[in-house]
Structure 1
Amino acid sequence: MNNSSTSCGGETPAPLSPRPLSHLDGAQRRVLSAAQLREHGVGPARAAARCAPGGPWQQLLPGVFLLHQGPPTSEERLRGALLYGGRHPASGAARGDVPRQAAGSPPAAPTDTAMITGLAALTLHGLAASPALTALDQIDVLVPRTRRLRSTGFVRIVRAHALPAAERVTGLPVAPVARALADAVAGLTDAAAVRRLLTEAVRDAHCEPAAVVRELSQARLLARPHVVDAVDSLLAAGRALAEGRLYEMVRTYGLPEPVWNVDLRLPGGPHLGGLDAYWPDHAVAVELDTRAPRHGRTPQDDVEWTQCARKREHLERLGIAVVHLTPRKLRDALELQATVVRTALLAAADREPPARVVVLPR
């Protein structure tokens, strides 16, 4: 007797023994790509038959099937969007999403070819200003620019020259907050909504202002007036946050209390510049560098850089040690920055006495 058989529509089953769908769990069992179905012995004709009117399945997106009737859940929509984008989310996602390999072989490269971005990503990251997943009509999926995909159904394809490193949220690959913000802002015209998203992202330490401005600049969004206004608010919130961390550094690590936010002048002479913190007895100054990066060098960048360099050189010629701190350094290595400042204070005794300057409130 011939062991070969045909399935619905005269379709020949896969040559390998099919794996039962029951070994999958959760949303994996409920939403699968055509390729995954073939691995389980379900070919295109059989899948199409099961999606016919009255059938138990439905086609969620091109090449993506929902293995039940009724509306998809938010998780099923996310997984379906990733499958359409070319990725196979699996239970091993939280462990690095590398393909199975023989024992003792070198680690395989990550297989991410798509990730959730835009408002859906911001919601997954926990931003309260982003709508609930159930309220989103579309899910943005970030893919390499070379992928031949079109936006369809509830999926909007967003292309990138190079994909950022995905972050795992609920086991799914999600774009970093700064990139997700840029992709979300690209589709928003509500100035208040843009401002809320940017401000919350920085205020709640999801990302640094510089990273957000860099992504917005690369996406050429800084020409939009409502985005520029939101960035101004963002930078103000970022500076306030950095100043708060600077206060925390001084008090947590027992540094002498400086005078805060001052201007320096030579007696009867010119203005030397503003400082965020200054220790007059040690002639040590701290300046926060919160300048926003831009995509590409501009004449304004050259002017700002020259002014900052001249200011620092002038102060150092007067015997004042200037410590430059960035918001990121204060966020990621507060104790190390405290050590840098403490070292500058201790070294004051070994330096020549500084020139006399007038300290004024800023």
Structure 2
Amino acid sequence: MTHNTPLSPRPLRRLSDVTRRVLTAAQLRAQGVTTAETNEQCRPGGPWQQILPGVFLLHPGPPTSEERLHAVLSYAARSPFRETAAGAAGVPAQPNADEPRPAPRYPDAVITGLAALTLHGFSSAPPLPSLDTIDVLVPRMRRLRTVGCARIVRTPALPTPSYVTGLPVAPVPRALADAVAELSDAAVVRRLLTEAVRGGHTEPAAVVRELTQARLLNRPHVVDAVESLLAEGRAIAEDHLYRMVREHALPDPVWNVDLRLPGGPHLGGLDAYWPEQAVAVELDTRAPRQEDDALWSEYARKREMLERLGITVVHITPRKLRDSLEQQATVVRTALMASCDRDPAAYVVVLPR
């Protein structure tokens, strides 16, 4: 066999260009290419090269970013291929009617970290060609090692991936946590977390949840970045709340106020309050940390106290404001209209917050 000898064209016609250029040893064997023939093709100066253990690039010269991504996934994935004469490279043998459907091309492997953020469109993440390694999530029990451009990240449970250009990519919160775990530059961490929220990729609470699970909130530069992230998320949510009132013709509330009983205790802060109707809006921007249960208890206590005084409290999350602004405006308008059917609320003192 020479380097000009083509592989069998039948199955390869089903594959994209990159999957013709990046093949595993199992895929090559399924094409009838022996180990000896593969080694011959990969000799110094030969037309092929081994890019990762068991993964081959079928051309000389440096790999493209797309080829590196496919190579890393090919190395890390649990092989779904049936190494039989009936098997096709990249296409599992057809199952019987009572068998499960064919496995995905890269089962048990998900791109994460900075490479995933770049694929998600983060401008603050480095371009793929500048990354020396590509992080890939695999189940904890897989017997793989970090090698070459593939950095293995083990996890007890793989996240449900997004698919970007057909590649399995970790959701933004998980990709951020895996990227932050390897970063010590506070400015870079802050830029990534800020873009995640400002760019509408995810909610602050989801990011903090992943950072907490990864045990990264004991790092001072991460804590500082999280505080900025939460402030950014609240500012965006407040902008959406202002827009909801303006665009949906709700009466103007008083903004960012504290309520007190006359000569009595502080009742709590509110993001918007309609004194005549005794309706309040509170943005639920809690971050899921260890004290979350206590914080939620505080939210519930305040709400119960205000409602005993005849004040209707509407809790709105930043996600709801972002995804269903009209629906949230309807909820608030309904509460305002229903005020005339309720008993008058107790008198409270409204102070700027």
| Counterpart among 119, 129, 135 of residue 114 in structure 2 | 119
Separation (CA, whole Å) in 1 of partners of 2:18 and 2:188 = 31
| Counterpart among 46, 52, 63 of residue 43 in structure 2 | 52
| Counterpart among 190, 207, 220 of residue 195 in structure 1 | 190
User: What residue is the counterpart of 2:272 in the other structure?
Assistant: 277
User: What residue is the counterpart of 1:218 in the other structure?
Assistant: 213
User: What residue is the counterpart of 1:3 in the other structure?
Assistant: none
User: What residue is the counterpart of 2:101 in the other structure?
Assistant: 108
Per-residue CA deviation, residues 34-91 of structure 1 (Å, 9 max, x unaligned), is 11112221122211110011211000000100000000000000000000011679xx
Q: Are 2:320 and 1:325 equivalent residues in the alignment?
A: no
**Structure 1 residue matching 2:182: 3-state secondary structure:** coil
5+ residue gaps, structure 2: 3-7, 81-89
| Counterpart among 150, 171, 174 of residue 145 in structure 2 | 150
> Number of residues paired by the alignment?
338
Per-residue CA deviation, residues 244-263 of structure 1 (Å, 9 max, x unaligned), is 11112222222222111111
Contact preservation (8 Å) 1:98, 1:110: no
Q: Are 2:306 and 1:352 equivalent residues in the alignment?
A: no
Is the deviation greater in 316-325 or in 267-276?
Answer: 267-276
5+ residue gaps, structure 1: 1-6, 9-16, 90-96
| Counterpart among 24, 27, 30 of residue 21 in structure 2 | 30
Separation (CA, whole Å) in 2 of partners of 1:110 and 1:291 = 39
Percent identity at matched positions? 70
Shift of the 210–121 alpha-carbon distance from structure 1 to 2, 3 Å rule, reads same
Contact preservation (8 Å) 2:286, 2:292: no
Separation (CA, whole Å) in 2 of partners of 1:335 and 1:248 = 10
Per-residue CA deviation, residues 175-212 of structure 1 (Å, 9 max, x unaligned), is 00000000000000001100000010011110110110
Q: Are 2:172 and 1:177 equivalent residues in the alignment?
A: yes
Is the deviation greater in 35-44 or in 229-238?
Answer: 35-44
Shift of the 128–140 alpha-carbon distance from structure 1 to 2, 3 Å rule, reads same
Separation (CA, whole Å) in 2 of partners of 1:185 and 1:153 = 21
Is the deviation greater in 346-355 or in 100-109?
Answer: 100-109
Amino acid at match of 1:68: H
| Counterpart among 250, 253, 265 of residue 248 in structure 2 | 253
User: What residue is the counterpart of 1:167 in the other structure?
Assistant: 162
User: What residue is the counterpart of 1:134 in the other structure?
Assistant: 129
Separation (CA, whole Å) in 2 of partners of 1:98 and 1:161 = 28
Amino acid at match of 2:132: D
Amino acid at match of 1:226: H
Q: Are 2:35 and 1:40 equivalent residues in the alignment?
A: no
Q: How far does residue 109 in structure 1 lie from its aligned partner after superposition? A: 7.1
Separation (CA, whole Å) in 2 of partners of 1:124 and 1:58 = 26
Per-residue CA deviation, residues 6-34 of structure 1 (Å, 9 max, x unaligned), is x79xxxxxxxx884646533211111111
Separation (CA, whole Å) in 1 of partners of 2:102 and 2:14 = 25
Aligned-residue Cα RMSD (Å) equals 2.4
Amino acid at match of 1:180: A
Amino acid at match of 1:316: E
Separation (CA, whole Å) in 1 of partners of 2:114 and 2:238 = 29
Separation (CA, whole Å) in 2 of partners of 1:219 and 1:73 = 31
Contact preservation (8 Å) 2:95, 2:102: no
Q: How far does residue 269 in structure 1 lie from its aligned partner after superposition? A: 2.1
TM-score, length-scaled by structure 2: 0.89
